[in-house]
Amino acid sequence: MVRSSVLGYPRIGADREWKKALEAFWSGKLEEKEFQARLQEIRLDHLRKQQEKGIDLIPVNDFSYYDHILDTAVMFGIVPKRFAYDGGAVPLSVYYGIARGTKDAAASEMTKWFNTNYHYIVPELDGASPTLTENKPLLAYREAKEKLGIEGKPVLVGPLTFLKLSKGYDKSETNAWLDRLLPLYVQVLQELANEGVQWVQIDEPILVTKTSDADLQLLNRIYETFAAAVPGLNIMLQTYFESVENYSDIVALPVQGIGLDFVHGATGNIQSIQASGFPADKILGAGVIDGRGIWKASLPGKLKLLDELAELVTPERLFVQSSCSLLHVPVTTARETKLTSELKNALAFADEKLDEIVLLTKALSSRSTEIIAEIENSDLTIQALQQSEERNRVAVQEAVASLRVQQPERSRPFAERHIAQQEKWKLPLFPTTTIGSFPQSAEVRKARQLWRKGELNNEQYAAFIRDQIDIWIKIQEEIEIDVLVHGEFERTDMVEFFGEKLAGFAFTQFGWVQSYGSRCVKPPIIFGDVAFTGEMTVEETKYAQSQTQRPVKGMLTGPITIMNWSFVREDIPREHIAYQLAYALRQEVEALEQAGIGMIQVDEPAVREGLPLKENEQADYLAWAVKAFRISTCTVQDTTQIHTHMCYCEFHDMIDSIEAMDADVISIETSRSHGELIHSFELNTYKLGIGLGVYDIHSPRVPSVDEMTSMIERALRVLDPKLFWINPDCGLKTRGLEETVASLRNMVDATKIARAKHVPTTV
């Protein structure tokens, strides 16, 4: 019998109940007992929903108190020494300390989960002595069975993926670390088997990336060990985000099922099955419903694909499932009352994807008239949107066609521009600046809410924003920051703000997804051709500049970041969407320059996360991503200084592309991974202006002057002092006023120490 399966469900709740509970607990407004009860209520509600929808294999242990990789680390007692953990079940104070930092200990590094906008906490293995602190998958299985009668499918992060995503050990120690971890995994699986668990999902997404012979040896060792230890337990080895590498080796592993992504890895996985077949003794987990996108599936096409797969593996050996966890999409479209019916009818969030999975599962077993009609009708809404005016802006399409064949360049190379800019701005050695945003207080959020409700008119709201700008211009001047920002108080989100002012975008009311920890974002939907409709940032930036003699940067979000942090249309290539955005942003850059703004920051924190997982596709992506940035910025004068910002990424494999963007100054988040990035610059010369973030803004702790001085000095070992800037590692929107001011004071004090040590005069 064909069965339906889901790889994971969103944690946050339709009203972000999860986020609100976490933040209430962190602020001391919620006692731990009540906090635990609230999270259990949310967790059970999610399970109940999947049960009522008719999902056969419901995931358990996909829920998390922060992050599933952190969960795996603490389950095995892998806690950095600085948190003074002394064994046993890891308390929430330590768990959240690892994620967020404490007064005395820095948080662990946070980075992107493959090529998504989700962030995980990087496990630190150095000095750890792994032990099973508690069997989290078993507890989750028991809870689902006892509370709801659900025969859950426990989800674990696989050993190879966990090791590959961890830090703090040498590659030569990999086998030794596997020796430590394997017995713990075996213990978890044996306890699950003894409990009567039927299926366990072991996630190994690392298998869609380049897999070495040594990796395959480790993989065989892992799953042969599992097969010997729990011969009666059904293991679904789950991959996602792309097609698997070394297909023949993977499907030969001694497991009962192999899960493949037939959305983002469709071409490669289908070719592999057609060329090599699929084992007759295994279940194929067919990930045909997109776990990352928000568009309705073309169900006739999906059913055709499943029919073709069923001929190769037989229907009874098929699980119809999502391509990956639904963690990456909003919860439901049911409450989206403000979208046009044309657009809303073409959307499918997590709950709607459950319906699609169940419908396709039924269709494989029964081709009733009712089911087939429902399948065929799914395409009608997609076709209606395709024919809309929003997707057929001829002027935009013609402009992009022209840009595609051009090579955008600044009029003079950086070395010449740098001289002209220094003559104009006369900045000191190691100029200080911030990334753009300042704390958005409850007062700021309330004013925006009142304005959106119409209780503040446009003039009143603009006056309020100017007041906030005045406050923070004075604070920046008093702290002695060299290059100022207006603070972005008028902006809710760095992508949403621009999407609201461009044509081709739509916005949900409740379309939240988790980015990291309790940080939830509501990505815009790029559903039509993007077009510039008027100035977006000029008013606030021009006002801020009028209040100070110091330069104020204009602040924009770059085309690749807007694209990668939005849900985008699927009917045209992403490259074309990027150029549409770049063309629109170029017009805003030019408007800022015409208004007298001579420094303009075009942030691209999401370039790295869009990098394809397959190496043979990466160069092409980076080429058009760089081109899109240059389209946005190439038309300015030589003395106009273009800044950009990137964060949360490993940059060693794309330093050349970063330099090719030809930004006059780039600031990079490095505080959680400072040593690794510095090593990149030891191996690669960087000839443009650069600021390496000297403190972590994601933690509430105030770093000391000595800490920041140490960061500065290490960077100056490999970077040209004449091109070096000093800044926090990211925007300060989520931080409090007192900690922000204290941290920036320390940053400026550390800068003064560095200036005195290197060159005590201006350059």
CA atoms within 13 A on the CB side of 758: 22
Tokens of 577: 């969407």
Band (53; pLDDT cuts 50, 70, 90): very high
pLDDT tens readout for residues 214-268 = 999 999 999 999 999 999 999 999 999 999 999 999 999 999 999 999 999 999 9
| Residue written as token pair 């800490």 | 707
Residue 613 near residue 242, CB atoms below 8 Å: yes
**Is 624 among the annotated ligand-binding positions?**
no
Q: What is the pLDDT of residues 98-121, one digit of tens each?
A: 999 998 899 999 988 999 989 999
Instruction: Output the CA angle 393-398-402, nearest 5 degrees.
Output: 150
Q: What pairs with residue 4 in β-bridges?
A: 320
Is there a binding annotation on residue 488?
A: yes
Question: Nearest-CA neighbor of 479 among 756, 762, 748, 701?
Answer: 748
Crossing angle (nearest 10°) for helices 350-365 and 299-313:
50
**Positive or negative CA dihedral for 421, 424, 428, 434?**
negative
Q: What is the pLDDT of residue 701?
A: 82
Please list, in sequence order, all residues whose beta carbon lies within 8 angstroms of the beta carbon of residue 197, skipping any fewer than 6 positions away.
Answer: 141, 152, 154, 233
Q: Is 603 annotated as a binding residue?
A: yes
| 634 annotated among ligand-binding-site residues | no
535 annotated to a ligand binding site: no
Determine contact, residues 72/154, Cβ cutoff 8 Å: no
Q: Taking 50 as the threshold, does the pLDDT of residue 744 lie above it?
A: yes
Q: Is it the case that residue 356 has pLDDT exceeding 60?
A: yes
DSSP 131-199: -----HHHHHHHHHHHHH----EEEEE-HHHHHHT-BSS-GGGHHHHHHHHHHHHHHHHHHHHHHT--E
pLDDT tens-digit profile of 173-213?
A: 999 999 999 999 999 999 999 999 999 999 999 999 999 99
Q: Do the Cβ atoms of 158 and 225 come closer than 8 Å?
A: no
Length of the chain measured in residues: 763
Q: Which of 698, 701, 690, 656 is nearest to 673 (CA)?
A: 698
Q: Report the alpha-carbon distance of residue 631 to residue 579 in Å, rounded.
A: 8
**Integer-rounded Cα radius of gyration of the chain:** 26
Top-confidence residue, 759 or 71: 71
Indicate whether 762 pLDDT > 60: no
Supply 418's token pair: 């740098």
Residues in a beta bridge with 432: 726
The closest alpha carbon to 395, from 534, 530, 502, belongs to 530
**What are residue 414's DSSP bridge partners?**
none
The number of CA neighbours under 13 Å toward the Cβ of 55 is 30
The answer to whether residue 673 scores a pLDDT higher than 80 is no
Question: Which pLDDT belongs to residue 751?
Answer: 96
Count Cβ atoms within 10 A of the Cβ of residue 178 and give its class: 0-12 exposed, 13-18 middle, 19 or more buried.
middle
Pick 653 or 263 by higher pLDDT: 263
Strand, coil or helix: 724? strand
* 11 among annotated binding-site residues: no
Q: Give the β-pairing of 199-203 and 234-238.
A: parallel
* 18 carries a ligand binding annotation: yes
Q: What's the first-to-final CA gap in the chain, in angstroms?
A: 75
Instruction: Spell out the domain ranges in the chain.
Output: 416-758
- pLDDT tens digits, residue range 287-300? 999 999 999 999 99
pLDDT band, very low/low/confident/very high, at 726 (cuts 50, 70, 90): very high
Name the least confident of 493-507, 564-578, 673-687. 673-687
Catalytic residue among 46, 68, 328, 698: 698
Predicted local confidence at residue 696, as pLDDT: 77
Q: Check the annotation: does 519 bind a ligand.
A: yes
Whether residue 707 is annotated as binding a ligand: the answer is no
Rounded distance between C-alpha atoms, residue 568 and residue 279, angstroms: 36
Averaged pLDDT for residues 512-541: 96
Tokens of residue 447, six digits? 């004013």
Kindly report the number of other CB atoms within 10 A of residue 615's CB atom.
11
- Say if residue 19 carries a ligand binding annotation: yes
Residue 672 binned pLDDT confidence (cut-offs 50, 70, 90): low
Angle at 560 between CA 554 and CA 562, to 5 degrees: 70
**560 labelled ligand-binding:** no
When pLDDT is cut at 50, 70 and 90, the band that residue 52 belongs to is very high
Instruction: Report the range of poorest mean pLDDT among 151-165, 433-447, 693-707.
Output: 693-707
Q: 484 - beta bridge partners?
A: 552
Residue 113 assigned to a binding site: no
Strands lying side by side in the sheet with 234-238: 3-5, 318-322, 283-289, 257-261, 234-238, 199-203, 153-157, 59-60
Phi-psi bin for 372: left (phi > 0), alpha (psi -120 to 50), beta?
A: alpha
Per-residue pLDDT reduced to its tens digit, 134-146: 999 999 999 999 9
Inform me whether the pLDDT recorded for 649 exceeds 70. Answer: no
pLDDT: which is higher, 164 or 714: 164
| pLDDT grade for 729, boundaries at 50, 70 and 90 | confident
pLDDT beyond 90 at 675? no
Backbone angles phi, psi at 528, to 5 degrees: -135, -175
Is 264 labelled a binding residue?
no
> At residue 648, does pLDDT exceed 60?
no
Amino acid 677: pLDDT: 65
**Cα–Cα dist 216/177, whole Å:** 16
Query: Is 698 noted as a catalytic residue in this protein?
Result: yes
Q: Which of 432, 414, 431 is nearest to 687 (CA)?
A: 414
Angle at 721 (CA atoms; ends 717, 727), nearest 5 degrees: 95
CA geometry: angle at 93 spanning 89 and 97, to 5°?
110
Residue 673, amino acid? S
Q: What angle do CA 546, 593, 720 make, to 5 degrees?
A: 95
| Per-residue pLDDT at 71 exceeds 50 | yes
Q: Checking DSSP bridges between strand 665-668 and strand 153-157, what pairing results, if any?
A: unpaired
Judge residue 415's burial from the number of C-beta atoms within 10 Å of its C-beta, 0-12 exposed, 13-18 middle, 19 or more buried: exposed
CATH number listed for the domain at residues 416-758: 3.20.20.210
- Is residue 647 part of an annotated ligand binding site? yes
Burial of 373: CB neighbours in 10 Å, binned 0-12, 13-18, 19+: exposed
Owner of token pair 């399970």? 47
- Average model confidence (pLDDT) across the chain: 94
Determine if residue 520 is labeled as part of a ligand binding site: yes
**Annotated binding residue 500:** no
Quote the CA–CA distance of 725 and 428 in Å, as a whole number.
10
565 is in an annotated binding site: yes
Would you say 117 is a known binding-site residue? yes
Alpha carbon distance 89, 76 (integer Å) = 9
3-state SS track over 401-433: HHHCCCCCCCCCCHHHHHHHHHHHHCCCCCCEE
> How many CB atoms within 10 Å of residue 733?
21
User: Does 112 belong to an annotated binding site?
Assistant: yes
Of 200 and 376, the one with more pLDDT:
200
pLDDT at 763: 44
